[in-house]
Amino acid sequence: MKQILMIEVSPRGPASGSRAAADRLAAHLIAAHPAARLIRRDLAASPLPHLDGATLGVIAARDPANPAPMTELARLSDELTDELLASDCLVIATPMWNFGIPSVLKAWIDLVVRPGLTFQYAGEGVLGLAQGKQAILLPASGGVFSEGPWRPWDFVEPYLKQVLGFIGISDVETIRIEGMNIPGLAEQAVPNAFAAIESLAA
């Protein structure tokens, strides 16, 4: 493994379950792959802008002979996409907010799901171009979504798996930090995730 890309989203600093799990996973992966480069993109410390019209004009341009004027955000999109394509392992550590992902993570996704770079239409289907990578999801939630009545309300894991599959990443493992806001479960949420990380084949 040459490069690990870790996307961290929670603004809750040391109180964050997803960040605690990300720290533990980073240590676990680096112990197994000491020569790997670890890139940590902290979207709370450095939030990404939403896609704008001028940038869309650049990244969706269909005529290479007639390119739209480059924008700063298109340059950032190129950089984020290159970073993803150069990584063998992608880690997404994110809170569940209102049953889905925080909008800053959606902004990252909108900047890296790029026609011609991470996917392309092929016949009547689509071809993911970010193949050969592993992804590990670390979703933290107040409730429990791995089982029980709230399971259908989880739009974090199914969405992330859908969009990663679309760009060719189908080897996806999920370690949940769940029950963070439920007395009696909260105390075990992070230790349970740590135990799952330690038993992860790296």
Ligand X SMILES: Cc1cc2nc3c(=O)[nH]c(=O)nc-3n(C[C@H](O)[C@H](O)[C@H](O)COP(=O)(O)O)c2cc1C
Which residue's CB is nearer to ligand X, number 19 or number 41? Answer: 19
Minimum distance from residue 94 beta carbon to ligand X (Å): 7
Q: Give the chain's length.
A: 202
Minimum distance from residue 200 beta carbon to ligand X (Å): 19
The contact set with ligand X (CB under 6 A) reads: 10, 12, 16-19, 95-99, 140-143, 180-181
Residue 154 CB neighbour total at 10 angstroms: 20
Which residue's CB is nearer to ligand X, number 48 or number 117? Answer: 48
Range 100-118 burial, b when 16+ CB lie within 10 A, else e: bbbebbbebbbbbbbeebb
CA 197 to chain centre: 17
Minimum distance from residue 141 beta carbon to ligand X (Å): 4
Which residue's CB is nearer to ligand X, number 99 or number 159? Answer: 99
Minimum distance from residue 41 beta carbon to ligand X (Å): 15
CA distances in angstroms from 50 to 43, 109, 125, listed in the order given = 12, 10, 27
Which residue's CB is nearer to ligand X, number 150 or number 166? Answer: 150
